[in-house]
Chain A
Amino acid sequence: MKLPSLRDVATEARLLLIGIPVFLWTMIPIYHMFLFAISPKEDAFSGKLWPDHPTLHNFEIVFKQQHYFLRDFYIQFWNSTVIAVSVGVLTLFIATAAAFSISRLKVPGGRTVLNLALFTYFIPAAFLAVPMYRTMGNYGLLNNHWSLILAMVTIASPYAIWVLKQASDKLPVELDEAAVMDGATTLQIFRLVYLPLMMPSLVAIGTYAVLLAWNEYLYAFLLLSNDREITLPVALGNFLAADDSPWELLMTTGFIYALPPAAVYYAFRRYMVGGLTAGAVKS
């Protein structure tokens, strides 16, 4: 071990000069939310950086549904979960089948379908929301979970198909040919050769679709309105409707709502970073 030279110290100091603002910028809104969640109502507005009497009382109120805004907390949490999981499963099913068909079976017109999907991917979701809202009304699906599930599948599958198609293209053709030689049917190739090899991409895409649906606010608030049908983010938005909305409870609920996606993200980060960023932008 030699002592660090003056030049090293200067470099380190310069890096810290970037690192500290980056850390503060990232953490302040999240810490602010956490601070409200652990503060009793009196402390919440005192502007202290740490409450005098940190408490889990807010969490207790949320979990016991002891507030007007929270009376359907569990059912809304459940709605969010069911919708997110359904979107994940349906997207995986639709996108894997389509990617297999386009990439491995070379179905006629596959290229066109892929371009259409890519086109949908680039149309901003908020623009599609307006006609989608009306369409769901025409289909009689408004206020029904299926409207949100189907809308989110529509939004998630183009990217899913595209990423899965890229990943399928990398699998050697010889695998399929060998399986055909051995007398495997198309479905057997799909199940026994294709799916196992695609597992890492499937995990990434499944996670992507689940998180997309869990985090969605705009579509959820347009398509669902009944208090017992809405998802958590819509319920959080509804807090704002009242002037005297209990901030500390809103932040507590928001904190609980933010935990699962953050946990899922960090658990699957290995897949997400490799599988998604590689597909997101190809230079």
Chain B
Amino acid sequence: MAITLSGDQAIPGPPLSSRLTPAQVWGIVLLAPYLLVFLAFVVYPVCYGLWLARAPSNYVALYNDPIFARAAVNTLIFLVIGINIKMLIALFLSGFFAQQRTWIKWLSVIFILPWAVPSIPTILSVRFMLNPEWGMINHYIFSLTGDDGPNWLNDPTVALTMAIAVHIWKSLPFWTLILITGRLAISHDLFEAAEVDGASWWQKFRYITWPSMQTLYVTCTLLSMIWTLGDFNSVYLLTGGGPADLTHVLATLGIRYLRLDQLSLAMASIVCAMPFVLPLVYFMMKRLSR
């Protein structure tokens, strides 16, 4: 309602209306709500945050904080290893789900569940499964072997691996779905022709599927890497950054500093991630805004 009012006021203004057509005035009025949100909740916080992180002493403090170095390495492992494994599985499964079978259709409906349900209860469910004393997994290890199972989340390597697994569990369906769309867009004639020529499974993938999907695949991988930088839930809800703050990633580390009331350190840790984030963002924007 407020928008309509300001629109009515804008039209009679002499200097504006002489230069702008009514459609353009409406254009500005309709764009205004988003611009307000953008200024109030993106521009202002970002500038304010950068201002808070301006002192060089913050970066010295970060450099001297072993948790920061560990979180940076964990983030790299998460992105470089975790995402590539996820995307390779997604690429493989997109071929599986592109098969025309009724049971595969049904399976694909179930397969999307991790993406459709909220992550909190399912991550907590995994956390309970991994509980060393009461969890389902160690219960079975005990009844099968008579030995106590490992204390899963108490070992930083295993805990980080589990966090990556949880991340893959949650987002694999989404990327598989997108790669399926890419695969189905390939003309079927190509495969039939290859079939006639007696091409092997690998040759069909190498010379038909991959060339038509590589752009999509690379775009998806980069996009997934950018988003995974912000994956707070998989780590925080599974390990809480522990044991001994050894499984933090940059997303959870920022929040940890925030909870410790070290806001300038939190911002500084995010600023440190920017040299990696911004080139990826720039590249993605060039790709998507054509």
Contact B119 A215 (CB under 8 A): yes
Contact A218 B120 (CB under 8 A): no
A27 located at the interface, meaning its Cβ lies under 8 Å from any Cβ of chain B in the complex? yes
Contact A98 B31 (CB under 8 A): yes
Q: How large is the interface on B (under 10, 10 to 19, 20 to 34, 35 or more residues)?
A: 35 or more
Secondary structure call for the B interface: helix
Contact A135 B41 (CB under 8 A): yes
List of B residues within 8 angstroms of A68 by Cβ: none
CB-nearest residue of chain A to B26 = A186
Contact B118 A261 (CB under 8 A): yes
A222→B250 CA distance, assembly (Å): 17
List, sorted by A's number, 22 A–B pairs whose CB atoms are closer than 8 Å: A15-B99, A26-B113, A32-B126, A98-B33, A101-B27, A118-B288, A124-B251, A125-B230, A126-B232, A127-B273, A128-B45, A130-B49, A131-B46, A131-B267, A157-B34, A222-B258, A240-B124, A251-B125, A257-B120, A283-B182, A283-B213, A283-B219
Q: State the B residues within 8 Å of A (CB).
A: 3, 22-24, 26-28, 30-31, 33-35, 37-38, 40-42, 44-46, 48-49, 52, 93, 96, 99, 101, 103-104, 107, 109-122, 124-126, 128-129, 134, 136, 139-140, 143, 169, 173, 177-178, 181-182, 213, 215-216, 219-220, 223, 226-227, 229-233, 236-237, 250-252, 254-255, 257-258, 263, 266-267, 270, 273, 277, 280-281, 284-285, 288-289
Further 11 A-B residue pairs, CB within 8 A, beyond A27-B113, A29-B125: A19-B103, A129-B254, A153-B37, A161-B34, A185-B22, A215-B120, A222-B255, A236-B121, A254-B124, A281-B178, A281-B216
Q: State the A residues within 8 Å of B (CB).
A: 15, 18-19, 22-23, 25-30, 32-33, 36, 45, 47, 93-95, 97-98, 100-102, 105-108, 110, 113-120, 122-135, 138-139, 150-151, 153-154, 157, 161-162, 185-187, 190, 214-215, 217-218, 222, 233, 236-237, 239-240, 247, 250-251, 253-255, 257-258, 261-262, 265-266, 269, 273, 277-278, 280-283
